[in-house]
Structure 1
Amino acid sequence: MTLTELRYIVAVARERHFGRAAEACHVSQPTLSVAIKKLEEELDVKIFERGSNEVSLTPLGEAIVRQAQGVIEQAQGIREIAQRGKDPLAGPLRLGIIYTIGPYLLPELVRHAIDMTPQMPLILQENFTVKLLDMLRTGELDCAIMAEPFPDTGLAIAPLYDEPFLVAVPAQHPLAQRKTISSEELKRETMLLLGTGHCFRDHVLEVCPEFARFSSDTEGIKKSFEGSSLETIKHMVASGMGVTVVPQLSVPREPQPHLVFVPFAAPVPSRRVVLAWRRSFTRYEAIAALRNAIYACELPGVARLTA
Structure 2
Amino acid sequence: MTLTELRYVVAVARERHFGRAAESCSVSQPTLSISIKKLEDELEVRIFERGTSDVSVTPIGEEIVRQAQAVLDQVNSIRETAKRRHDPVAGPLRLGVIYTIGPYLLPELVREAIERVPQMPLMLQENFTVKLLEMLRAGELDCAIMAEPFPDSGLAIAKLYDEPFVVALPKAHPLASRASISADELRQEKMLLLGTGHCFRDHVLEVCPEYAPFSGNAEGIGKTFEGSSLETIKYMVSAGMGVTVVPRLSVTDEPQPHIAYVPFADPAPTRRVVLVWRRSFTRYEAIAALRNVIYACRLDGVHRLTP
TM bin (shorter chain) = over 0.9
Report whether the alignment pairs 1:40 with 2:33.
no
Supply the AA of the counterpart residue of 1:10.
V
Indicate the residue corresponding to 1:199 in structure 2: 199
> Judging changes above 3 Å, is the alpha-carbon distance between structure 1 residues 52 and 174 closer, same or farther for their aligned structure 2 residues?
farther
For residues 273-284 of structure 1, the aligned pairs below 5 Å read 273-284=273-284
Indicate the residue corresponding to 1:236 in structure 2: 236
Supply the AA of the counterpart residue of 2:112.
H
Match of 2:301, SS state, is coil
**TM-score normalised by structure 1 residue count:** 0.92
| Structure 2: 5+ residue stretches without partners | none
In structure 1, how many angstroms separate the alpha carbons of the residues matched to 2:209 and 2:19? 38
In structure 2, how many angstroms separate the alpha carbons of the residues matched to 1:196 and 1:20? 27
Indicate the residue corresponding to 2:157 in structure 1: 157
Supply the AA of the counterpart residue of 2:139.
G
Given that residues 80 and 281 in structure 1 are in contact (C-alpha distance below 8 angstroms), is that contact kept between their aligned partners in structure 2?
no
Indicate the residue corresponding to 1:189 in structure 2: 189
Supply the AA of the counterpart residue of 2:261.
F
Report whether the alignment pairs 1:108 with 2:112.
no
> Judging changes above 3 Å, is the alpha-carbon distance between structure 1 residues 53 and 234 closer, same or farther for their aligned structure 2 residues?
farther
**TM-score normalised by structure 2 residue count:** 0.92
- Bigger CA drift: 116-125 or 35-44? 35-44
Give the count of matched residue pairs: 307
Indicate the residue corresponding to 1:83 in structure 2: 83
Supply the AA of the counterpart residue of 2:254.
E
Indicate the residue corresponding to 2:268 in structure 1: 268
Given that residues 73 and 138 in structure 1 are in contact (C-alpha distance below 8 angstroms), is that contact kept between their aligned partners in structure 2?
no
In structure 1, how many angstroms separate the alpha carbons of the residues matched to 2:209 and 2:51? 37
Indicate the residue corresponding to 1:119 in structure 2: 119
Indicate the residue corresponding to 1:13 in structure 2: 13
Supply the AA of the counterpart residue of 1:89.
V
> Judging changes above 3 Å, is the alpha-carbon distance between structure 1 residues 215 and 81 closer, same or farther for their aligned structure 2 residues?
same
In structure 2, how many angstroms separate the alpha carbons of the residues matched to 1:227 and 1:23? 33
Supply the AA of the counterpart residue of 1:147.
A
Supply the AA of the counterpart residue of 2:119.
Q
Q: Deviations over 1:47-101 (max 9, x none)?
A: 2234456533221111111212211211111111111112112221111111111
In structure 2, how many angstroms separate the alpha carbons of the residues matched to 1:96 and 1:35? 31
In structure 2, how many angstroms separate the alpha carbons of the residues matched to 1:131 and 1:241? 31
Q: Please report the RMSD computed on the Cα atoms of aligned residues, expressed in angstroms.
A: 2.0
Supply the AA of the counterpart residue of 2:68.
A
Percent pairwise identity? 77
1:160 is displaced (CA, Å) by 0.6
Match of 1:146, SS state, is strand
